[in-house]
Structure 1
Amino acid sequence: MCLYRNDVMNPLGQTILKDVSRSFYLSMRVLPKTMRDPISLGYLLARASDTLADTGDLDASLRFEMLTGLRDILHGADSSDWLRRLERDVIPRQQHVGEKSLLEKMHGVLAWLESLREASDSVAADHDQPALPPSISSRQHAAILTVMDHILRGQRLDIERFELQQGFQFSLDAELDEYCFLVAGSVGEFWTEIGAISLGEFSHIETAKLKRWGANYGKGLQLINILRDLPSDLKAGRCYLPHVDATDRDALMAESLRWRTQARRYLEDGQSYAQSLVKRRIRAATALPGLIGERTLDLMDAADWYELEQGVKISRREVYRSAWDALIV
């Protein structure tokens, strides 16, 4: 039995999104109905895994095991033991009200994902011809599994490298680029896949090129997060910048500038991506993170190390300005 209709925003997702991320909830409201549920569900699963990965007062090995367990559940493993462990060991450690609420409702989130698979199974059961093309629900379900496989792999690698090993640092630019793809670039591909599945006419650009732009867009946004958090990550014993002396601030600032330049190139692909989209509301929702990202890069370009240590964040006024600019992309 399918628990949720797929043509309107799922009420569970609506409730949790408000608690977890008001801004993302508002973004989802402007999307066409056929995109809202799969995008919202994918976001909640990714936010849950991110919460698991970042609960710092939990032992790294436990967080690694919980992420591995979530991956297995998404591919059909029984969730009972995992949910009990989540309730016993993880939920009591949560300080963020919204993230705690999300983890408390994980049974419902997983049931929501299962409803997509059940909807696709029911469509298949209504036909005698096994060669029929996959249903929209089954393709959305597959897209969610694909992006979560990437994200969970990136999160598990992050724990394995920086917490379960000693003294790890990327040695190649390609390693950082791969990490950015796993945890964020894959989301650009997911957005593209869901748009094409749900709307048909999603962009004026062919899907393969659009996926490449979307992946670069996500990687650019992740690079901004990494560069913004560089001082705090160093204090925690992490350096994501390849082949640089983590004790040399001048070298770190020079490498930060180099990667900010790369981030801007990726954001240019993101704006090309947004401009190619057919529907105005989706263009605006897609362009907004990049516009905020560009203004964040401007602040980092003007900041010294002390200012980076204090934290770089654009003002609420600049966020509103970005939102207005997104409407005319």
Structure 2
Amino acid sequence: MPISGRRRAISDNSAEYARLEEAPDPKELLDVLARSFALTLRLLPPAMGDHFARAYLFARAADTVADTDAVDPAARLRVLETLEDTATRLARGEPVTLEPAPLGPGGGPQERTLLERLPDVARWVSEMEVPARKRAGEVAVTLIGAMREDLGRFAEAGERVVALPDEPALEDYLYGNAGCVGGYWAKELAATSHRITGLDLQNMEQAGVRLGKALQRVNVLRDLAKDIRQGRCYLPESSLSAHGLEPRDLFFPDAHGPLRPLLDAQIAAAHADLEAGLEFFHHLPHRWLRRRAAAALPAVLAKRTLDRIEAQPERLLDAQDTIKVPRGEVYRILLRLLLLPPSDRGLARMVRGRRRR
């Protein structure tokens, strides 16, 4: 249940670039920036999909600041702090304004145009009703705080490989980058039903957090080799050391052997988070076919990706290889969720799958 989609590159001369500059509303802009996520949002009721689109664009703008060459590294933290202050005001229910980000010569057309359109992004989130604005602000505060922490931690990345220090730091990272988004989904879905309140909402939020953490842990494993080459290692240094490894050792495929027990532990933790996250779906009425499908699809895809990782863990150290679920399989899963909507038990079987022994 991501709030963000994978970035797609577009060329300066493409029709999509023109759409990016001229998109009159958040959903059209989202169609260009994150098409897969935009398709997922179409499964939701229009008002809810609109909330997610606006919240996504605000979070995506902050993520772009943290990660782009379009903003000078010395200015990134300052711009992020401005966005964090803005998110704090949103969390209080206040309308906000933003100026375009200060841009240097770098960055791609997507990044530059999104940062030039910060005034539009601020206007779009300010147009949300106050309760929805508060929810978007709350999750953005957490996300941007995690981004600022990453910027500080990996300031020297590139010169050497920097790893998270220990397991608690990894758990904090998983929550700040995705677990909080699972809780946000729970709140947005609960806002459409007067029956999801009190303890039910609390349990649903906790389950959403576990689902979000599972998805991000899968991303940590899948992107291991690419992150290492950017000087970042999200596997804890304490765990690597316990297996006789240093972060820089992960550049080399022969590290797979000593790394395997650590990978197995992370895979098991992802399975445990997915299992705990199944509670999320118990609170969604069966008549919410499209909402259940939108929330379940990322969980099922995470399980399918874990299956591939378990089958060929050595691929994780190959930066030229990406473990992912083929698009055709994604569509088949989505059609299964929509045309033959599973019960809670059936959905649990889809998420659990068949564990390898």
Which secondary structure does the structure 1 equivalent of 2:163 belong to?
coil
Work out whether residues 139 and 197 of structure 1, in 8 Å CA contact, stay in contact via their aligned partners in 2.
no
Q: Does 1:298 align with 2:307?
A: yes
Determine which of 96, 107, 118 is the counterpart of 1:106.
Answer: 118
Q: Does 1:265 align with 2:272?
A: yes
Q: Distance in 2 between matches of 1:253 and 1:101?
A: 42
Determine which of 165, 168, 171 is the counterpart of 1:174.
Answer: 168
- 1:14-33 mapped onto 2 (5 Å cutoff): 14-33=27-46
Aligned in 2, Cα 1:198/1:106: closer, same or farther, shift over 3 Å? Answer: farther
Work out whether residues 19 and 101 of structure 1, in 8 Å CA contact, stay in contact via their aligned partners in 2.
no
Aligned in 2, Cα 1:152/1:84: closer, same or farther, shift over 3 Å? Answer: closer
Q: Which runs of 5+ in 1 are unaligned?
A: 1-9, 117-136
Q: Does 1:44 align with 2:57?
A: yes
Q: Distance in 1 between matches of 2:195 and 2:174?
A: 28
Post-superposition offset of 1:174 = 1.7
Determine which of 149, 152, 161 is the counterpart of 2:153.
Answer: 161
Q: Partner of 1:129 in structure 2?
A: none
Work out whether residues 271 and 290 of structure 1, in 8 Å CA contact, stay in contact via their aligned partners in 2.
no
Which secondary structure does the structure 1 equivalent of 2:324 belong to?
coil
Q: Kindly provide the CA deviation profile for residues 164-203 of structure 1, in whole angstroms up to 9, marking residues without a partner as x.
A: 5876433321210111101100001111112222443459
Q: With the length of structure 1 as denominator, give the TM-score of the two structures.
A: 0.81
Determine which of 323, 326, 329 is the counterpart of 2:337.
Answer: 326
Q: Distance in 2 between matches of 1:48 and 1:106?
A: 7
Q: Partner of 2:328 in structure 1?
A: 317
Q: Kindly provide the CA deviation profile for residues 63-108 of structure 1, in whole angstroms up to 9, marking residues without a partner as x.
A: 222211211233459856x5251xx33xx533264x4443332211
Q: Kindly provide the CA deviation profile for residues 2-45 of structure 1, in whole angstroms up to 9, marking residues without a partner as x.
A: xxxxxxxx961121111111121122122113312221111111
- 1:279-294 mapped onto 2 (5 Å cutoff): 279-294=288-303
Work out whether residues 60 and 163 of structure 1, in 8 Å CA contact, stay in contact via their aligned partners in 2.
no
- 1:236-255 mapped onto 2 (5 Å cutoff): 236-242=230-236, 243=238, 244=240, 245=245, 246=247, 247=249, 249=255, 250-255=257-262
Aligned in 2, Cα 1:322/1:271: closer, same or farther, shift over 3 Å? Answer: farther
**Higher fraction of helix:** 1
Greater shift in the superposed pair: 215-224 or 34-43: 34-43
Work out whether residues 150 and 182 of structure 1, in 8 Å CA contact, stay in contact via their aligned partners in 2.
yes
Post-superposition offset of 1:60 = 3.6
Q: Partner of 1:120 in structure 2?
A: none
Count of residue correspondences: 294
Aligned in 2, Cα 1:63/1:322: closer, same or farther, shift over 3 Å? Answer: farther
Q: Distance in 2 between matches of 1:216 and 1:316?
A: 25
Q: Kindly provide the CA deviation profile for residues 122-178 of structure 1, in whole angstroms up to 9, marking residues without a partner as x.
A: xxxxxxxxxxxxxxx222111111100100011110110112587643332121011
Q: Partner of 2:203 in structure 1?
A: 209
Work out whether residues 53 and 67 of structure 1, in 8 Å CA contact, stay in contact via their aligned partners in 2.
yes
Aligned in 2, Cα 1:326/1:308: closer, same or farther, shift over 3 Å? Answer: farther
Greater shift in the superposed pair: 163-172 or 102-111: 163-172
Alpha-carbon RMSD across the aligned residues, in angstroms, is: 2.6
Q: Does 1:222 align with 2:222?
A: no
Q: With the length of structure 2 as denominator, give the TM-score of the two structures.
A: 0.75
Q: Distance in 1 between matches of 2:198 and 2:271?
A: 23
Q: Kindly provide the CA deviation profile for residues 274-306 of structure 1, in whole angstroms up to 9, marking residues without a partner as x.
A: 343121111000000011111111111122434
Q: Does 1:143 align with 2:135?
A: yes
Aligned in 2, Cα 1:108/1:257: closer, same or farther, shift over 3 Å? Answer: same
Post-superposition offset of 1:47 = 1.5
Greater shift in the superposed pair: 161-170 or 283-292: 161-170
Work out whether residues 296 and 314 of structure 1, in 8 Å CA contact, stay in contact via their aligned partners in 2.
yes
Q: Partner of 1:64 in structure 2?
A: 77
Aligned in 2, Cα 1:197/1:306: closer, same or farther, shift over 3 Å? Answer: closer
Q: Which amino acid aligns with 1:171?
A: P
